[in-house]
Amino acid sequence: MFKKRLPAAVLWDMDGTLVDSEHYWMASERALASAHSAEWTDKDGHDLIGNSLYESSRIIKAKLNSDMSTEAIVQHLTDSVVAKLAVEIPWRPGAKELLLELKKKGVKTALVTMSLHRMAQEVVDKIPFDAFDVIVGGDDVSRGKPFPDPYLQAAKLLGVAPEDCVAFEDSNTGLRSAEAAGTKAIGIPNFIEIPQIEGRILWPTLEGVRLKDLQRLFD
**pLDDT given for residue 53 in this prediction:** 86
Q: Where are the domains of the chain?
A: 9-20+91-218, 22-87
The domains spanning 9-20+91-218 and 22-87 adopt the same CATH topology? no
**pLDDT given for residue 3 in this prediction:** 61
Terminal CA-CA length for the chain = 13
22-87 has CATH 1.10.150 classification: yes
- Cα–Cα distance measured from residue 207 to residue 204, given in angstroms and rounded to the nearest whole number: 9
- Cα–Cα distance measured from residue 146 to residue 50, given in angstroms and rounded to the nearest whole number: 8
**pLDDT given for residue 133 in this prediction:** 98
Phi, psi values for residue 183, rounded to 5°: -80, 170
User: Using alpha carbons only, what angle is made at residue 161 by residues 152 and 176, rounded to the nearest 5 degrees?
Assistant: 45
Using left for φ > 0, alpha for ψ between -120 and 50, and beta otherwise, residue 177 falls in: alpha
CATH topology of domain 9-20+91-218: Rossmann fold (3.40.50)
Q: What is the pLDDT of residues 129-171, one digit of tens each?
A: 999 999 999 999 999 999 999 999 999 999 999 999 999 999 9
| Residue 184 DSSP SS3 | strand
- Cα–Cα distance measured from residue 195 to residue 171, given in angstroms and rounded to the nearest whole number: 10
Contact call for residues 35 and 180 (beta carbons, < 8 A): no
With b for 16 or more beta-carbon neighbours within 10 A and e for fewer, the 184-204 pattern comes to bbbbbbbbbebeeeeeeeeee
Q: pTM value?
A: 0.89
| Residue 181 DSSP SS3 | coil
Q: Name the stretches of the chain with pLDDT < 70.
A: 1-3
Q: What is the sign, positive or negative, of the torsion defined by CA atoms of 130, 175, 188, 63?
A: positive
Q: What is the pLDDT of residues 37-46, one digit of tens each?
A: 999 999 999 8
**pLDDT given for residue 1 in this prediction:** 42
